[in-house]
Structure 1
Amino acid sequence: MRAIFLFFITLCLPVGVVFSQIPTRSGTTERPFLLKGKVIDENTNGPVDKVNIEITGGAYTTTSGLGLFEIKARIGDELIVKSEAFETVYYYIKDEQFITIKVEKETREQAPVATSYKRNANKDLFNVYIDSSRAFLKRDAGKSIEYVTKALESVGGPKATDTQNAIVFETLGDINMYWEQYDLAIDNYKRSISSRLKTATRIKLASAYRKNKSYQESISAYTSLLNVTLTDYQKILVYEGLGDTHKAINDTEKSVTNYEKALFLSKAGSVAPKITDLNSKIGAVYAQSGAKAKAEVYFDNSLGLSKKENKQRAVEEKNTVADFYNQNRDFDKEIELRSEALEELKSMEGKKLKEDVNSALTPQRQNYKIADAFLGKMEYKEAIPYLEKSISEADANEDLVVEKDARRKLSEVYKDIGEFDKAAESYERYVEVVDELYIKKDQEISQATRFSKEIALRQNRITSLENERKLNESRYQLAFENQELIEKNNLVQKWVIGSLILIALLLLYTAYNQYKSVKRQKYANNLLALKGLRTQMNPHFIFNALNSVNSFIATNDERAANKYLSEFSQLMRSVLENSEEDFIPLSKEIELLELYVKLEHFRFQDKFDYSITVSEAIKVNEFVIPPMLLQPYVENAVWHGLRYKEEKGFLEIDFQQIDSETIQITITDNGIGRKQSKALKTENQKKQKSKGMGNIQKRIAILNDMYKDKVDVTITDVSEDTAGTRVQLTLKKD
């Protein structure tokens, strides 16, 4: 993206400012005064906050939320106005009047073209690309490094100058620092310093050592800087850096000493943001060492000072101090501060914060910490609303880490107060979030790996460019002569790779066709097997039915035999109509079953009664079932269970819907049971397997193989004495 920055500085008086070269601070003897000014947007006239305001070799400050600043200066000093939002502005102070700096920003996807006043009016392409790189530094690391590469490529002559190399590698170090690649940052800052010894870069190197946990190297680098000439602001940075490093290694005394030196210089130079930061850091060191009273004094200072800056800084400090109170179990003060922070966060809605979703400065994290404080006070019911708010905010902002912790904590709270159903529900969702978080973290690791690899490759390109400029002319000539051979080799390689890919595709195609052929054959075999089983089922059924007719004839009950044959012929007609179908509507199967049970009851009226119940919730025309699937189980219940019962038995057939996709069919009899029925079998019966039951088991197995577990059957005893039998058949819609 390219930004065009325009600015002009106007005095409050009608007379305009004419830019000219006047003596710098080092050559002036003017008395110091408090210079006041404002930075505003040219298009909206709105204030621009967080702008760095610095006097060369002197004081430093930043603009407030209203865009205002005050800084100690002298006539002839050089004022530097810097921000990531626009290009650096340089202005020489001519008088003590209030100044207004207007900036206009236009964002486009190309390198920024500066039209503001610069010390070097004829800025070359190298500097344009470096400025573009810095503009993208915090948005797109790859593009930022790409502009650094272009800057190096734009250098004329056999190699870049030492100054250009220093700028290139310092910029790379800045990119690495922002994206937390501290080892690469150290290497690049060292390269920059080897090309040009610059104090600001040395300070950055010392900071990179600390963030890379090379603490002794960091202390050594900061200490060596105290022996060189530093501006007041640079001294503040050095002492603050030493304080940070000693704090990291738990050296409380040295940490506080260096922080206090930095604080003294900040107060002397009226560097308001640093005064706030250093009070907070000293409080944190004392808190870390257990000096609660001292820590509280400095934290009170930092809280008061942060309120004078801007809302975000105030929220940051309230969160820091709230953490301190949490560590000391002063939960009431913690809750008070976090509640205030929440209200300020609400008032900042719509304003993009510097922090990301993992920052503590999010409503979900503050609500979670307030809930945790209430739990520390054993006030469980007060904690629940904040945990629920935290979950809601975390879900809306896709903050799985906070949602996970909040749901786990909510589950524990419900458990502690005895609401076990809610505890289980919350814990179940917590498990789901953990799974989601695991997937997300895995994705983040993959993305981070790709990102690091991409950055390394881009940076290697820059190193390669630097090395290429050191090669002599003969190397270039050799590369040119070998180019044709390389191209030929590449062509051969492409042909070989293409051939291998083609062969692989042909093999895959052949394997796929073979797989489909096997699958089709298996399907055809299953259809043939089903047809064979159905063919066996019909004679088996007819044989059993004719036995019934024979029994009526044997008893000279001609009328009953005729009636039975009439009903039987109707049943057989329906059976034969459906004999070629794999599945029929459930309604038809119920009709067949009712007719069959009616026939069996007609013969064994003195042996059993029956009932067939179909739930009104079942849409019988939407479910399908293999034909004659239920009849063998009913036949088995009558012939082997109820027929041998001394008293009159009962057969119950029940159709119930489990869910929209599944029904359950239960066939229950109170007959003699499977164990006693087996004992009553004759020797001839024992030698023969039940055709009906055997066939139906084979049919179910084949159908489940073809249609992915469509039918499930379980057979159990009704009572503990093994009397009675229950068959439960689960049927899925699809």
Structure 2
Amino acid sequence: MFAQDNNGLLNQEPKFTVRGSVIESDTKKPISNVNIEVNGGAYTTTDMFGDFRIEARRGDELTIRHKDFETVYYTIQSSERIKVEVQPNKEETKYSKLRKTSSTRLESFKPLIDSAEVYLKKDAKKSIQFIGDALTESTSAKENSEAYEVLGDVYLFWKQYDLAVSNYRISLQSRDGNAVRLKLAKAYRLNKNYQESLEVYNAIKKNELTNWQLIELYEGLGDVHFSTKAYQLAIDAYQEGLNVAKKHLITPKITDLNSKIAQAYNAKGETQKAKGFFNKSMQLANTENQTRAVEEKIKVADFENENNNFSDEIELRKEALNTISEIESDSVLENESPLTPQKQNYKIGNAYASQRDFPNAISYLQKSIVEADIKSDLIVQKDATRKLSEVYRDAGQFDKALLAYQDYVELVDKLYAKKEQEISQAARFSKDIISKQNRISSLESDRELSESKYELSIEQAKRQKLIIYSLIGGVLLLLITAFLMFKYIKQQRLANNLLALKSLRSQMNPHFIFNALNSVNSFIASNDERTANKYLTDFSLLMRAVLENSEQDFIPLEKEIELLQLYTKLEHFRFQDKFDYTIKVDENIKVEDFVIPPMLLQPYIENAVWHGLRYKKSKGQLTINITQNKPDEIKITIADDGIGREKSKALKTENQQKQNSKGMGNIKKRVAILNDMYRDKVDVFIDDFQDEEDTGTKVVVTLKKD
């Protein structure tokens, strides 16, 4: 009995995908065709790269068998990435060692992918950043494929289906695999590319799939047919998947497919058959866990609602509410979940309203509003308040209806403000911006429709109020429209500025790289390989730092000082017979309190060396001083005693003058854009350094604290 109870508990655990690999400990060569089995019945083998994927639950025992090494047993604790290292063909000393890849692998690709998967559902921006970093560390087509697959998973979760399709296709170009093909077919369906989805599903060889994947294939085919309203084809596909699930005792899928067959029969108009399958799915769900049971109960309640069986719907939702209260005692339900009590109270109130049982409708709608307010669920709170206003109106309580409607208008404003914040946070995803804008537009349409209904409801009572509220609504709508236009223009301007900054930053690096590589070429030409190697080492450090900061508008002043020291060292390395240099930082400056645009000072130092000190007859001096005259600003002075700007200009060809003008112009544009975005944060002043024959040049950059 204890074992049966244990198995029952284990079956309640959700399934997840475990990824791993099997390699030789000495040579690090992958081992293919290794038998991988879970005690729950799932089975697969490693591919030619030694990799495998298998569905498992927490607590399952993973068994790894092969004729050339001792069998390995491992208990699954989470969706971890695991590596099995084995020493084959040594009868007396053979052993196996199991460990997590993320904690032992020297390469950085795997940890970056793991980090991307951790943030996949939490922070899309971070997840995508980790994937980008992983791609820079990728050393094989297999790793490229895995990175693009995870990127597709990110976009799929955040509902960027067209981008998910693109990345899954790129993943398959690097390395073919049925798991990614199934994901691609699903992304096609969600993006409404139904024929493409069917083509991918039908092209997959069923005999190469695991039992779980085969069920996913039939389920996906059914979903496509359901979306295209080919309900009989959907039922046939779901039934095929159900047969496989029953044969291999895959209980969760048996429940899901019974539920989907019921939904297809209901859409087809065969409600009795639908009811029969829904009864099966509810019975099966009750054997799994509370969450799955209540999910299925809510689906059946929705079915009863569609068929106007409001009494049955109300009874089911009340039962679901009791279970939901038990679930909430152990875990927190997100507002997006269909299981939240505020949603169920709202739907019960709707059902009572459909029966014209106004007292009960009002009671449950009020419960929904209170619950939604406690959990900051503005969407349900708004909908429940609007419905409450309509119920009061239908019950003849017009004063209460008016108060409820005013609350509804206030909630729409709050929800609008919340959506604006979400749009700002997701600015890097253009399609998400469009989606949020559409949601805002739908809110406005909803408000306009509700106003129209409400105005009609009070027309018989007071005709004069109708005119007043119409005018107020019109003015409010105009103000909101003007506000939306202002926000849109402001956001577009910010986007244009960011794009311009990125473009200008990208134009600043090639000139320096070209000059540096020319110097390396000269070292190599003179057979000075040691000097070239030393220069290249320092140059690579500088390039890495520049690339790391290339996407930022501002970096800490401390990092910029390090970049200056490294860059000036490189220039002095090339022209050490032309100048000496000093870099002084005032000890009283708290460099951590200031930030500066990356590579802002480098062009001025480059001009000082290449156009001033390089042509000086005697050895010159380059001085970089960082001082603080005011608590909220610092001054960075770059001074050289070179030949000066006028003489340097006279030495240049016409083409060189154009290039220099363009380079300094880019710096001026960049400073202008940053000052426009951050309110005069940077000031640059350029003048002659001294009154002697070699006038030199002095550049003073004033930087203000945030």
TM-score range, shorter chain: 0.5 to 0.7
The structure whose residues are more often helix, as a share, is 2
Report the AA paired with residue 250 of structure 1: K
307-316 or 130-139, which deviates more: 130-139
* Offset at residue 194 of structure 1 (A): 0.7
Match of residue 41 from structure 2:
71
481-490 or 226-235, which deviates more: 481-490
* Equivalent residue in structure 2 for 1:50, among 1, 7, 14: 14
Q: Distance in 1 between matches of 2:9 and 2:513?
A: 52
CA contact (8 A) 1:391 1:407 kept: yes
Match of residue 110 from structure 2:
127
* Offset at residue 226 of structure 1 (A): 4.0
Match of residue 398 from structure 2:
420
* Offset at residue 243 of structure 1 (A): 0.2
* Offset at residue 148 of structure 1 (A): 1.9
Q: Secondary structure at the match of 1:305?
A: helix
CA contact (8 A) 1:276 1:306 kept: yes
Q: Secondary structure at the match of 1:288?
A: helix
CA contact (8 A) 1:81 1:90 kept: no
Q: Are 1:216 and 2:199 matched, yes or no?
A: no
Q: Distance in 2 between matches of 1:105 and 1:194?
A: 26
Q: Secondary structure at the match of 2:14?
A: coil
CA contact (8 A) 1:325 1:333 kept: yes
CA contact (8 A) 1:38 1:100 kept: no
Match of residue 117 from structure 1:
99
Q: Distance in 2 between matches of 1:501 and 1:71?
A: 60
Pick closer, same or farther for the CA change 1:249–1:506 going to 2, 3 Å: closer
Pick closer, same or farther for the CA change 1:475–1:317 going to 2, 3 Å: farther
Match of residue 321 from structure 1:
300
* Offset at residue 340 of structure 1 (A): 1.1
Q: Are 1:200 and 2:179 matched, yes or no?
A: yes
Match of residue 394 from structure 1:
372
Q: Secondary structure at the match of 1:349?
A: helix
Match of residue 276 from structure 2:
297
Pick closer, same or farther for the CA change 1:91–1:343 going to 2, 3 Å: same
Q: Are 1:162 and 2:117 matched, yes or no?
A: no
Q: Are 1:404 and 2:382 matched, yes or no?
A: yes
Q: Distance in 1 between matches of 2:672 and 2:276?
A: 77
Report the AA paired with residue 236 of structure 1: I
* Offset at residue 149 of structure 1 (A): 2.4
Match of residue 172 from structure 1:
151
* Offset at residue 53 of structure 1 (A): 7.6
Question: What is the number of equivalent residue pairs in this alignment?
Answer: 437
Residue by residue over 1:542-597, the C-alpha shift from the partner in whole angstroms, topping out at 9 and shown as x without a partner, is xxxxxxxxxxxxxxxxxxxxxxxxxxxxxxxxxxxxxxxxxxxxxxxxxxxxxxxx
* Offset at residue 321 of structure 1 (A): 0.8
Q: Distance in 2 between matches of 1:153 and 1:228?
A: 36
Match of residue 284 from structure 1:
263
Report the AA paired with residue 111 of structure 2: V
* Offset at residue 383 of structure 1 (A): 1.1
> Aligned Cα RMSD in Å?
4.9
Q: Which has the larger radius of gyration?
A: 1
* Offset at residue 451 of structure 1 (A): 4.4
CA contact (8 A) 1:403 1:433 kept: yes
Q: Secondary structure at the match of 2:63?
A: strand
* Offset at residue 438 of structure 1 (A): 2.8
CA contact (8 A) 2:62 2:75 kept: no
* Offset at residue 151 of structure 1 (A): 2.1
CA contact (8 A) 1:53 1:60 kept: no
Q: Distance in 2 between matches of 1:199 and 1:165?
A: 16
CA contact (8 A) 1:60 1:269 kept: no
Pick closer, same or farther for the CA change 1:504–1:239 going to 2, 3 Å: closer
Q: Distance in 1 between matches of 2:181 and 2:357?
A: 52
Pick closer, same or farther for the CA change 1:321–1:397 going to 2, 3 Å: same
Pick closer, same or farther for the CA change 1:267–1:228 going to 2, 3 Å: closer
Equivalences for 1:131-530 in 2 at 5 Å?
Answer: 131-155=114-138, 160-226=139-205, 229-352=208-331, 356-452=334-430, 480=517, 493-495=666-668, 498=671
Pick closer, same or farther for the CA change 1:316–1:500 going to 2, 3 Å: closer
Report the AA paired with residue 439 of structure 1: A
* Offset at residue 440 of structure 1 (A): 2.7
Residue by residue over 1:285-312, the C-alpha shift from the partner in whole angstroms, topping out at 9 and shown as x without a partner, is 1111111001001100111111111111
CA contact (8 A) 1:130 1:147 kept: yes
Residue by residue over 1:42-89, the C-alpha shift from the partner in whole angstroms, topping out at 9 and shown as x without a partner, is xxxxx992143889999999xxxxxxx84377999x997767999x98
Match of residue 574 from structure 1:
none
Match of residue 580 from structure 2:
none
Pick closer, same or farther for the CA change 1:476–1:251 going to 2, 3 Å: farther
* Offset at residue 123 of structure 1 (A): 6.6
Match of residue 567 from structure 1:
none
CA contact (8 A) 1:280 1:302 kept: yes
Pick closer, same or farther for the CA change 1:243–1:123 going to 2, 3 Å: farther
Residue by residue over 1:102-137, the C-alpha shift from the partner in whole angstroms, topping out at 9 and shown as x without a partner, is 74899xxxx999995369985743222222222221
Pick closer, same or farther for the CA change 1:315–1:38 going to 2, 3 Å: closer
Q: Distance in 2 between matches of 1:137 and 1:429?
A: 37
Q: Secondary structure at the match of 1:117?
A: strand
Q: Secondary structure at the match of 1:449?
A: coil
Q: Distance in 1 between matches of 2:40 and 2:223?
A: 28
Q: Secondary structure at the match of 2:328?
A: coil
Q: Secondary structure at the match of 1:348?
A: helix
* Offset at residue 191 of structure 1 (A): 0.8
CA contact (8 A) 1:89 1:118 kept: no
Pick closer, same or farther for the CA change 1:362–1:134 going to 2, 3 Å: same
CA contact (8 A) 1:387 1:407 kept: yes
CA contact (8 A) 1:263 1:278 kept: yes
CA contact (8 A) 1:142 1:454 kept: no
Q: Secondary structure at the match of 2:300?
A: helix
Q: Distance in 1 between matches of 2:219 and 2:184?
A: 14
Q: Distance in 2 between matches of 1:455 and 1:481?
A: 45
* Offset at residue 368 of structure 1 (A): 0.6
Which consecutive unaligned segments of at least 5 residues does structure 1 have?
A: 1-11, 14-33, 41-46, 62-68, 458-463, 465-472, 508-734
Pick closer, same or farther for the CA change 1:105–1:205 going to 2, 3 Å: closer
Q: Secondary structure at the match of 2:208?
A: coil
Report the AA paired with residue 231 of structure 1: T
Report the AA paired with residue 13 of structure 2: D
Report the AA paired with residue 133 of structure 1: A
Q: Secondary structure at the match of 2:75?
A: strand
Pick closer, same or farther for the CA change 1:317–1:201 going to 2, 3 Å: same
* Offset at residue 325 of structure 1 (A): 0.3
CA contact (8 A) 1:52 1:60 kept: no
Report the AA paired with residue 370 of structure 1: I
Q: Distance in 2 between matches of 1:193 and 1:73?
A: 23
Report the AA paired with residue 259 of structure 1: Y
Q: Distance in 2 between matches of 1:105 and 1:146?
A: 22
Q: Distance in 1 between matches of 2:512 and 2:62?
A: 45
CA contact (8 A) 1:133 1:145 kept: yes
Residue by residue over 1:424-470, the C-alpha shift from the partner in whole angstroms, topping out at 9 and shown as x without a partner, is 2212212222222233333333433344589999xxxxxx9xxxxxx
Q: Are 1:91 and 2:73 matched, yes or no?
A: no
CA contact (8 A) 1:80 1:91 kept: no
Q: Distance in 2 between matches of 1:204 and 1:293?
A: 34
Report the AA paired with residue 99 of structure 2: Y
Q: Distance in 1 between matches of 2:79 and 2:135?
A: 27
